[in-house]
Homo-oligomer: A and B are copies of this chain.
Amino acid sequence: MKIFTATHRQSVAAYGELRLITEVRRWLGDVSPRAPFGIGDDCAVLPPTKRAQLVTTDPVIHGQHFDDAVPARAAGAKLLKRNLSDIAAMGGRPVAAVLSLALAPATNVAWLREFYLGLAACARRYEVKIVGGDITQAPAGFFGAFLTLHGEATSQRVITRNGARLHDHLFVTGRLGGSRRNHHYSFQPRLAEGAWLARQSEVAAMMDVSDGIAKDVQALTPTGLTASILPSALPVSIAAKTAACTSHRPAWVHSLTDGEDYELLFVVRARTDAAKFIARWKKQFSTPLHRIGHFSRKIESGHVDWKTLHGYEHLR
């Protein structure tokens, strides 16, 4: 199904704002609480919290984060999952979201319904309520959904990107690279893994990999240090190997630079035995976990040279 339609009666313009909002609430079903706790008042009301709150915002824009090859339901789910991955990266649990939609008048209502059903199914699965939003007209050809997700800490600690020290281990979940094939929307946010990691005192810092390790690891790297990663230690996905066949670049380069992996990249204290840490992990999760390197003063021989690799930079 196409996102835009040439047939007026199938378009959001034929529905108008008020009828469309009624439909949206029907599509969301039990994921949309009644006002004032949900859609329908000037603000959504959330109860007081005892724990630190987490807030993140990420959109999906047609032509940028998904295209016509991605099913509408998967695009709706991706919108929430991108934000869930950020909550996971702080060791939090998601609570509630608001959604601001900007859409061209020719947006197909049937497509939009699928988008919302995908969003609602994902929200139900991760116990997130959609508590508010806005629908605004955008120029022809534009569809953007801008979600802000609220969560809270699952333990006393919120894990940030800061905290790595010299010799600390660098770990990553899952397998990386080639996400454009379908991983960029079929991924699973690592919420249970993130919450578990936040409870392990030897985990010093964490983030999710959205633009590729080559770019993202810089945010974990303290001033004066560098991340030393052996190419052979990188968990390369099958999609990265497929991409390597046509790009004629090594699969491990794809695993560092393709982006949209939505895996957790985290730092464990140097004193921790990496093999024992992985053994403890395997008792909890089937998600792959690999030690890919450590922090050092200089890039060591045979390790990845960051000067030659770049992750995905927006607006370039």
A residues touching B (Cβ–Cβ < 8 Å)? 12-13, 15-18, 20, 35-36, 40-59, 61, 63-65, 85-87, 89-90, 92, 96, 98-100, 102, 105, 131-139, 141-142, 144, 146, 148, 150-151, 158, 160-162, 207-208, 313-316
Copies in the complex: 2
Contact B142 A43 (CB under 8 A): no
A154: min CB distance to chain B, Å: 13
CA distance A255 to B290 in the complex (A): 64
CA distance A290 to B158 in the complex (A): 49
Contact of A43 among B90, B133, B135, B162 (CB under 8 A): B90
22 contacting pairs across A/B (C-beta < 8 A): A15-B315, A16-B315, A17-B316, A41-B90, A42-B89, A43-B87, A45-B90, A49-B49, A49-B53, A55-B148, A56-B132, A57-B98, A57-B133, A58-B134, A59-B134, A65-B136, A100-B146, A100-B148, A102-B102, A135-B315, A136-B314, A142-B142
- Identify the closest chain B residue to A96 (Cβ): B55
CA distance A49 to B63 in the complex (A): 39
Contact of A16 among B40, B43, B64, B313 (CB under 8 A): B313
Contact of A139 among B40, B63, B146, B316 (CB under 8 A): B63
Contact A46 B53 (CB under 8 A): yes
Contact A48 B48 (CB under 8 A): yes
A145: min CB distance to chain B, Å: 10
List the B side residues contacting A139 at CB < 8 Å: 63, 141-142
Contact A102 B46 (CB under 8 A): no
Contact A135 B56 (CB under 8 A): no
- Identify the closest chain B residue to A208 (Cβ): B42
Contact B132 A43 (CB under 8 A): no
List the B side residues contacting A132 at CB < 8 Å: 55-57
- Identify the closest chain B residue to A144 (Cβ): B102
Contact B41 A46 (CB under 8 A): no
A59: min CB distance to chain B, Å: 5
Contact of A135 among B148, B161, B314 (CB under 8 A): B314
List the B side residues contacting A12 at CB < 8 Å: 315
CA distance A89 to B41 in the complex (A): 9
Contact A54 B44 (CB under 8 A): yes
Known A13-B316, A313-B16; judge A56-B89 contact (CB<8 A): no
- Identify the closest chain B residue to A46 (Cβ): B53
Known A17-B315, A142-B142, A315-B16; judge A41-B148 contact (CB<8 A): no
Contact A160 B48 (CB under 8 A): no
Contact B136 A59 (CB under 8 A): yes
A35: min CB distance to chain B, Å: 7
CA distance A48 to B15 in the complex (A): 41
CA distance A162 to B53 in the complex (A): 28
CA distance A64 to B136 in the complex (A): 8
